[in-house]
Structure formats: C-alpha cells, structure tokens
Amino acid sequence: MKNVINLDELQLEDFAKGDKFASRCARIGPLVGARDLGYSYDIVPPGKRACPFHSHRSQEEMFFIVSGSGTLRYGNETRKIRAGDIICCPVGGPDTAHQIVNDSDADLAFLSISTMTDPEICEYPDSLSAESLGKIDREIAKYPPERKQSAVISALAIAQDEKGWISPEVMEFVAQYLGLPPVAVEEVASFYTMFHTEPVGKYTLTLCTCLPCGFQGALHAADHLRAKLGIDFSETTPDGRFTLKEGECMGACAMAPVLLVNNKKMRDFMSNDKLDRLLEELK
C-alpha cells in the first residue's frame, strides 16, 4: 500500500535560518498520495523553532506532538506542550497566530496537517508592516550605511506606534533589522520612559515628577490622577483605557505640572480641574 508510511522511513532534510530557526523535516503528503491535506514531520533541536510566529487566513493547521516538550505561543498566550498534545490552529489573524518553540533540552518532534487551501495569506504579527518598514528605512537613510544602528530610537518609536508597545519579539525584530544584538535594543527600550515594554492602555498619561515640577504641583497632580483612575504609576485601569506613567523632565518645567498623552501631545499647567477635563475628553 502506497498510502502508508512510517516515521522511521522518512528522509529528513536539514533546514536552518539565522540562529533561531532549525529543524529536520519531511513533507509527507506527496509520499502517501495526499490530495487535499498537507502532512509534514519536523524534529526541532533544543533552543530552536521551525517557523516564525504566524497566522493563516485560509489554511487551518493541526499539530500532534510526537515526542519531547516545548512551548506553544498562541495569540497572546503561551503554554507548555508535551508528547501526545493535539493542537488546533484555525484560520484568523493575530488571535490565532502560533509558533512551537523547543525550549527544552531534547529534540521536539511534531506532525503537522494543513488544509492547503489556496490562495493563502500568511501574517507575521512579530514583524512590522510595510508602511512601518518604509518609515524605518527613511530614518536609516539619514545615517552613513555603516551607522544604520543609530536609527534605533526612531525605529522603536515607529514600531511602538504600530504595535502599541515594544514586546520582546518586536525588540528582536528591530535588532535584526538594524543589525544590532537584541540586548542593545532592549537597553534603549528600557531606558527611555517613552517606550512601553509592557502592554499599555489606549491612552498613556506620562506625568513629569522630576524635582522642578514636583515643587510646582506635579506631586499633587499625581495624587489626583491616582485617586481619579484608581491606579498607581505603571498600572493600567481595568477597562484598558488609561495607563499612568512617571516621566522625566520634558523641558517644560516653567509650565508644571506637565504631562504627555500617548507621547505625542503635551498638556501644561495641569490643575485638578484641567486633569478632570482631560480624563472626560479621553473617555
């Protein structure tokens, strides 16, 4: 019978890309005469993944973990996976994006089955849009080719405008794009208060609490905002509307208290009345 094959009969091919992606894999469908489904078998070595975090607009996929263990990224969640697990990845957007990561010390083997629906559109939520990449390219062009890493702050700002915050995956993407080690991008993203390294609400309110502003009412403004929103600095309201952040000097000390809305608009002389009006306005 030509429609049966055993895993030990497969001729595995080596695949590797960069320092993150590697597997030994075989496309099984053609070997067993599959017509409407795609079958593949992958063995992912420790520390690697077989493919980027992605979602499909028309092909549904199923994975069966044959041996080993690892982590599944699915939408905004992660969970540990092990031999015997069956994973369904229906079509969708970022909410059904998925990736199997071998973060164990041994090989992780899985069988995947796909509906092979055509035409297919694949999306990669960790990547940036073509529009954002165009903006980053324009920033890079401002520097000599050998200094393109100097565009890191601009690139992070553009990435944050698109994604809302700078996740570890976005940092990694920016690092790769600029040819920097990921840790160098992480250092920049975590140093400047304008970058959000955690998810934030729809509106971020960044209040300057430096000494000159502190002497001119910023601390009272902070108390008022905390009481009105029911959150402390670095927290987000339960409805996901506001995140309160502490900022550094914004060069507007004479107009204290000052705050930035979404890092874009500065509001000055923020008395309690003005703060209340601002919160109303943003509701």
Q: Which residues bind ligand FES (CB under 6 A)?
A: 208, 210, 212-213, 249-250, 252-253, 256, 258
User: Given the complex with ligand FES, which of 112 and 204 has the nearer CB atom?
Assistant: 204
- In whole angstroms, how close is the CB of 252 to ligand FES at the nearest point? 5
User: Given the complex with ligand FES, which of 102 and 206 has the nearer CB atom?
Assistant: 206
- In whole angstroms, how close is the CB of 214 to ligand FES at the nearest point? 8
User: Given the complex with ligand FES, which of 141 and 211 has the nearer CB atom?
Assistant: 211
- In whole angstroms, how close is the CB of 22 to ligand FES at the nearest point? 49
- In whole angstroms, how close is the CB of 232 to ligand FES at the nearest point? 19
- In whole angstroms, how close is the CB of 41 to ligand FES at the nearest point? 59
User: Given the complex with ligand FES, which of 128 and 250 has the nearer CB atom?
Assistant: 250
- In whole angstroms, how close is the CB of 93 to ligand FES at the nearest point? 40
Burial class of 90 by CB neighbour count within 10 A (0 to 12, 13 to 18, 19+): middle
User: Given the complex with ligand FES, which of 122 and 249 has the nearer CB atom?
Assistant: 249
User: Given the complex with ligand FES, which of 97 and 225 has the nearer CB atom?
Assistant: 225
